[in-house]
Structures are given as C-alpha cells and as structure tokens.
Copies of this chain bind each other. A is one copy, B any other.
C-alpha cells in the first residue's frame, strides 16, 4: 500500500466511526505524519486528494478557523472530476444533456413546495431578469451561470442528497456547453426571454405542487435549448413504461 493511502485509510476509518465528524479538525500535518509513521509529504498528498474530493478544507494561520477541517461538499468533488473527463472528450455533451433531463425531471416531479432551495431559485430568477436585456459576452455568461445554479437549486428541492450531488457535479459542465452553444443561436435576447418565461413556469408548477407539469416543462426547457442550438435528435427520454 502506498504511503499516502495509509493516511487516506486512516481518515476514512475516522470518518466512518464518527470520531472525525463534519466540522471537526484533522490533526496538524506534522503530528499526523508522526502518528502514522509516514512523512509529512505523504500526509499532504492524502489531504490534497481529500480536498479535491470535497471532504476537507485547508486554511493557513492559527485560531479556530485555521488548519484542515472536515467538510461535506460532494458536488465540487464530483464536479471537477466530471469536468476533467469532459475535457478528455470521453463524456459527450449529448450524454450530459440526457442525464440532466433524467435527473431534473425526476427531481421536479418530487420537489417539495416548501423546500428552502426554492426560495434561492426564485432569487436567482430575479437576478436573471436584470440581465436579460444585455447582449455582451460577460452578461450572457453571468446569465448562464445563474441559470445553471437555478437548475441545481431546483433539483435540491427533491431532498435527495445523492441526486443533488450529481446535479451539482453537472453544473460546471452544463454552464460550459450552454455557453459554447450560444454561438449557434440566432438572437440571444429572444432566447433569454423564452428561457426566463420557462423558468418562471417551472418554478410556479413546483410551488403549486404540480410535479407532473413541472417535470414536463423541465424536459421541454432543456431539450428546447439544445435543439435551438441546432443539436437535435438525442435519444428519447420519456420515462420507461
């Protein structure tokens, strides 16, 4: 077993046994190295991995906020992994879109009207309204960033941590392909106007507790953008049976 894996194993055991709860602090790197009889270098390699996984967060300095703390951020972890694999072109955009539709329709159908993330979603829509008339690159990117966050917030309302994490991991990839596809759109402002209308309708349906309608609207919304950009014809996504 490689040296840094000793550290990973130890941390995982501590996490599983509850001796290292979320919010607590890991021993200092030098102490951990001594306790596990490995070099500080190996401890640091393990911490880097845990950091990339969204399990810990490191901060320099002293005091209660410094050191390496246990966090719980599955989304960023999966997100960077996914982003890297998209970079290798082994994860086609078409598959990302299909997966979005799958996850988001499911979530929309099960979103709980009172969920806190819906308030966030509403706030994001308001911010998008203020950006809708702008055509320059910067504002378009800002709009799409809010758009992606809206969809993640919507998915979170279903209350499934795993689905939320997966949607969060798709956020960067979604924002990326959405941005690249704007080049294919005839006119951004008209598309933006349509998107805003669809967003409002989706949120309204969810708030009204009409999951079926919300799911259908979400599917239309996502596929509509993809088709408008001239990339139609991905596998059907009607629910099985």
Contacts and interface: CB of A to CB of B under 8 A. Distances in A.
B95 A160 contact: yes
A91 interface: yes
B235 A215 contact: no
Contacts of A53: 52, 80-81, 84-85
Interface residues of A, number: 63
Contacts of A123: none
> How many monomers of this protein are in the complex?
2
27 contacts: A4-B48, A12-B83, A22-B88, A22-B90, A45-B48, A48-B49, A52-B52, A53-B84, A55-B88, A72-B85, A72-B88, A74-B85, A74-B91, A78-B169, A91-B161, A95-B160, A98-B162, A99-B160, A102-B102, A102-B106, A102-B163, A110-B240, A162-B170, A211-B241, A212-B240, A213-B241, A215-B241
